Amino acid sequence: MNLLTDDAPNTDKQAEHVSSAEGAVCANFLDNARHSVDEIERRFISKMEINRDLNRTLVSFQANKSEPYYRWFKYREGFSKPLIEYFLDHSEIQHTGHVLDPFAGTGATCFVANERGISATAIELLPVGSHFIRLRQALWGVAPSEISGWLNEVISERPWTRMSGEIAFSHLRITQDAFSPETEAALARYRFWVQQQPQPKQQFCDFLSYSILEEISFTRKDGQYLRWDHRSPRSKVRGKFDKGRIFSFEEAITAKAQSILADLRAETPDLLAAIASARPISNISLHEGSNFASLERIDAASVDLVVTSPPYCNRYDYTRTYALELAYLGCSEEGIRALRQALLSCTVENKPKSLGGIVCHKALDAGMATFSKNKAVQAIITFLEAEDAAGKLNNSGIVKMVRGYFSEMAIHIAQLSKVVRSGGRVYMVNDNVRYNGLDVPVDCILSAFAEDLGFRCVKIWVLPMGKGNSSQQMKLHGRSELRKCVYIWERLDH
């Protein structure tokens, strides 16, 4: 008898058996998840309507490239002005109403409402967005001719070139070597000159350099991270990415100043008069910090319209993509980590949040109960847990991210239910996502949450052309076009 072949365990066959068993388990969980997804989609299919007025350019920052003021800072995740106008027209909100954007970005929703004389509240956690909001607020009451004078000084005189002092760029680890030595020196001299200027000129001129950081750097924003040009002095640049022309500081600051100057010259007399007045057309209230904490400070039933787009469940880490801007604003490594954790869970690095003592018990309990009883989201999480146990997820953090995203969104919607008046509406833009071959209908799940928490789903507007899944997902599971939608919810009687 050959002990090695007859008595010893056949490890290869055992591995095949285990692998086959794990595959069967994963397939079963996938079938269950797809069944639950089909079920919740059938629930909302009658609400879905392809809206041919909408496209991906409109439902993004792209349409702002021709909009004065709104194009001053390139915030890729921001709304376009025409889209907000479309929502305001559709909602028929009155001048006496109040608009809220709990994920305000650079405040486009609130500024469009402001131009119509409608008061608004912006909530924004990232200093990247709130910095621009505060700048625009600071410019109310400043005559456009005065701003034009500042711009002409930058364009024609370049006074920082005669400065010997410098304010060095305080780099984070992720931004080290983002600029050439010449660019970094010019930026440092410019910032020193800015510090010698009176307010609000100082704030405005500081914004000019803040707004061109990507153009003068070796980096480009790319969803989950910064892409590094092959010309960067960093020692570990991946691949041969070439971002194209990298502008010198003088070229970029001059072009930015000329662009803003053109906007000021093109404005209508009425708006110029409003800008030069002592106060804005209507009130804009800015809450800087967590949307969970800020919503607790808003009066119940005081909001007529919510227009917003929360972070998507797509692993995008805004603390990385906007690392240059955060470093410019003085964020430390610890500050970056704190911001990342405070964001709505949308990255694999987010840890479970403890919202007790921040969110009122009623909203917290209602949100968690809604999340826990939703069959679709629980089946999706169970499938992802099985995929992770089988080593099939490319990052184990996806499970906790998806769980955190939907539990936190349920709590957020419970908070919105408290602050939106009866008959008030929510317009929310979001994308569906796909993980390991499973389409996740974010639109239907969040609308189900909303209906459990005091809203009626009026419509789910679907963009005519969806979004393809990631190249990695397409390679493994084939192409699947994902819906990009706008959800319209109406608050029932309190």
**Residues 27 and 100 reside in one and the same domain:** yes
Q: Output phi, psi for 165, to 5 deg.
A: -80, 160
d(CA 420, CA 304): 6
User: Alpha-carbon distance 278 to 49, whole Å?
Assistant: 44
pLDDT of residue 11 exceeding 60: no
Give the CA radius of gyration of the chain: 25
333 and 463, same domain (yes or no): yes
Would you say residue 460 has pLDDT above 80? yes
- Same domain membership, residue 321 and residue 457: yes
Question: Are the C-beta atoms of residues 436 and 390 closer than 8 Å to each other?
Answer: no
Tell me 356's DSSP state: B
- Looking at residues 349-356, what average pLDDT do you find? 93
Greater pLDDT, 77 or 372:
372
Residue for token pair 């002409």: 152
Helix 375-389 and helix 11-44, axial crossing angle in degrees, nearest 10: 160
- Would you state the pLDDT for residue 476? 42
SS (H, E, C) 12-63: HHHHHHHHHHHHHHHHHHHHHHHHHHHHHHHHHHHHEEECCCCCCCCCCCHH
Least confident of 97-101, 123-127, 226-230, 266-270: 266-270
Q: Are residues 306 and 251 in the same domain?
A: no
**Residue 227 is part of which domain span?**
144-276
> pLDDT at position 473, please?
43
Three-class DSSP labels, 422-483? EEEEEEEEEECEEECCEEECHHHHHHHHHHHCCEEEEEEEECCCCEECCHHHHHHHCCCEEC
Number of structural domains found in the chain: 2
**380 and 480 assigned to the same domain:** yes
Residue 268 has pLDDT above 70, yes or no: no
Report in angstroms the alpha-carbon separations of 475 from 116, 431, 469, 471, 472.
48, 21, 10, 6, 5
Joined together, the tokens standing for residue 388 give 């992770």
Q: How far apart are CA 279 and CA 282, in angstroms?
A: 8
Q: How confident is the model at residue 269 (pLDDT cuts 50, 70, 90)?
A: low
Whether residues 270 and 294 fall in one domain: no
314 in the Ramachandran plot: left (φ > 0), alpha (ψ -120 to 50) or beta?
alpha
Percentage of the chain lying above the pLDDT 90 cut: 72
CB atoms within 10 A of CB 6: 7
What mean pLDDT do residues 242-266 have? Answer: 93
Q: Per the domain annotation, does 482 fall within a domain?
A: yes
Q: Are residues 478 and 357 in the same domain?
A: yes
Predicted pLDDT of residue 23: 62
- 132 in a domain, yes or no? no
Out of 258, 276, 294, a domain closes at: 276
Say if 381 falls within a structural domain: yes
**Burial category of 103 from C-beta neighbours within 10 Å (exposed 0-12, middle 13-18, buried 19 and up):** buried
Same domain, 315 and 453: yes
Place of tokens 């027209």: 89
CA distance 32 to 381: 11
Q: Would the pLDDT of 13 be above 50?
A: no
Report if residue 131 sits inside a domain: no
Do 461 and 337 fall into the same domain?
Answer: yes
What is the per-residue pLDDT for 356? 93
pLDDT per residue as tens digits for the range 424-456: 999 999 999 999 999 999 999 999 999 999 999
Maximum Cα interatomic distance, the chain, rounded to a whole number of Å: 100
Report the mean per-residue pLDDT for the chain.
88
Q: What is the CATH number of the domain that holds 82?
A: 3.40.50.150
Whether 465 is in a domain gets the answer yes
Q: What would the mean pLDDT of 84-102 be, rounded to a whole number? A: 95
**pLDDT given at position 240:** 82
Tell me the C-alpha distance between 408 and 377, whole Å: 13
In this structure, what token pair is assigned to residue 477? 């599971």
**Considering the domain boundaries, does residue 104 fall inside one?**
yes
- Give the three-class secondary structure for 122: strand
pLDDT, residue 19, reads 56
What pLDDT score was predicted for residue 69?
A: 76
Distance (Å, whole) CA 58 – CA 387:
36
pLDDT tens for 104-160 read 999 999 999 998 889 999 999 999 999 999 998 888 888 889 999 999 999 999 999
224 is a domain residue: yes
**Which residue blocks in 281-429 are alpha helix, DSSP H?**
291-295, 318-321, 323-328, 333-342, 361-373, 375-389, 397-419
**169 with 261, same domain?**
yes
pLDDT digits (tens, 9 = 90+) for 213-233: 999 999 999 867 789 998 998
Confidence of residue 379 (pLDDT cuts 50, 70, 90): very high
pLDDT for res 480? 66
Q: Which of 276, 304, 338 is the last residue of a domain?
A: 276
φ, ψ of residue 124 in degrees (nearest 5): -145, 130
Contact 131, 328 (CB under 8 A): no
* Last residue of one domain, picked from the residues 250, 276, 302: 276
